């Protein structure tokens, strides 16, 4: 008698979920956010927020999805921003302290988009997480010590127009003047800035509007002039 044993076979079917570009971005952002538990996660990981120890500054990391994303190319660009509650209350630069697209802040000439599609996903998540850990977090920590940070900004190579408002608000006119003159000295638009500053001397300060930008840097020059920050002669 021939006995035939019939084996019951269980088939395990692996289900592959195809994510839409936006969903893939959100998955990556949330994975990056999970590495920074001190930050509050907003908008499904698209923005991370943290308040400074003195409760005055707000630190943000946020991610911008490429509007041209499609199935085979899913990109995003990290940004950072620092805001000041007391600067906003004092109506200085709408409270904005410093920030921008991470690639530019890292001295790259163009925006750097990070690719998530295909085999790039984990590499990109790890790379952006590492940049946050090695660059963004230490930068935010520098702003926790205002006095020391202002000295550092004046002494080092960074020449960001936005920081003039921050230095003026927290460090006073003399510190702001040091930083302002460093910007002027190192700028390719130095002659234009000096000419514009001198033209402002002929206009009553009350007639100068900071809300209108005539060219890159003009609002900074107007702010300096209105607040008695002078261009020093070399």
- Tell me the average pLDDT across 31-53: 97
How far apart are the C-alpha atoms of 168 and 77, rounded to whole Å? 31
Residue 15 DSSP label: P
pLDDT above 70 (res 1) = no
pLDDT for 212 equals: 82
How far apart are the C-alpha atoms of 7 and 231, rounded to whole Å? 89
User: Is 84 in a helix, a strand, or coil?
Assistant: strand
In which band, very low, low, confident or very high, does the pLDDT at 232 lie, cut at 50, 70 and 90? very high
- Tell me the average pLDDT across 144-148: 98
- Tell me the average pLDDT across 66-83: 97
pLDDT for 104 equals: 87
Half-sphere exposure of 68 (CA within 13 A, CB side): 3
pLDDT above 70 (res 108) = no
How far apart are the C-alpha atoms of 174 and 71, rounded to whole Å? 54
pLDDT for 14 equals: 45
Query: CA distances (Å), 180 to each of 165, 167, 231, in order?
Result: 10, 10, 8
CB-based contact 68:22 (threshold 8 Å): no
Which of 214 and 84 is assigned the larger pLDDT? Answer: 84
Among 92-101, 106-115, 218-227, which stretch is predicted with the lowest mean pLDDT?
Answer: 106-115
∠ CA 195-152-188, nearest 5°, is 25
| Token representation of residue 111 | 């925006």
pLDDT for 233 equals: 80
């Amino acid at each position: 008698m021939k006995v035939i044993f019939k084996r019951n076979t269980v088939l395990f079917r692996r289900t592959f979920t195809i994510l839409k570009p936006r969903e893939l971005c959100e998955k990556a952002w949330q994975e990056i956010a999970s590495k920074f538990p001190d930050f509050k996660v907003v908008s499904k990981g698209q923005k991370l927020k943290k308040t400074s120890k003195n409760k005055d500054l707000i630190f943000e990391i946020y991610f911008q999805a490429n509007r041209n994303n499609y199935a085979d190319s899913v990109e995003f660009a990290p940004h950072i921003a620092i805001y000041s509650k007391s600067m906003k209350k004092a109506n200085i630069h709408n409270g904005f302290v410093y920030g921008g697209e991470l690639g530019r802040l890292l001295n790259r000439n163009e925006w750097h988009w990070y690719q998530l599609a295909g085999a790039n996903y984990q590499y990109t998540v790890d790379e952006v997480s590492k940049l946050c850990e090695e660059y963004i977090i230490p930068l935010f920590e520098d702003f926790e010590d205002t006095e020391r940070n202002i000295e550092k900004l004046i002494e080092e190579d960074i020449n960001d127009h936005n920081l003039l408002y921050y230095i003026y608000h927290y460090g006073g006119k003399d510190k702001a003047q040091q930083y302002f003159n460093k910007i002027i000295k190192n700028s390719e638009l130095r002659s234009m800035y000096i000419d514009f500053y001198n033209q402002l001397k002929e206009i009553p300060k009350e007639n100068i509007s900071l809300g209108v930008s005539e060219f890159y840097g003009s609002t900074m020059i107007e702010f300096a002039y209105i607040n008695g920050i002078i261009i020093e002669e070399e």
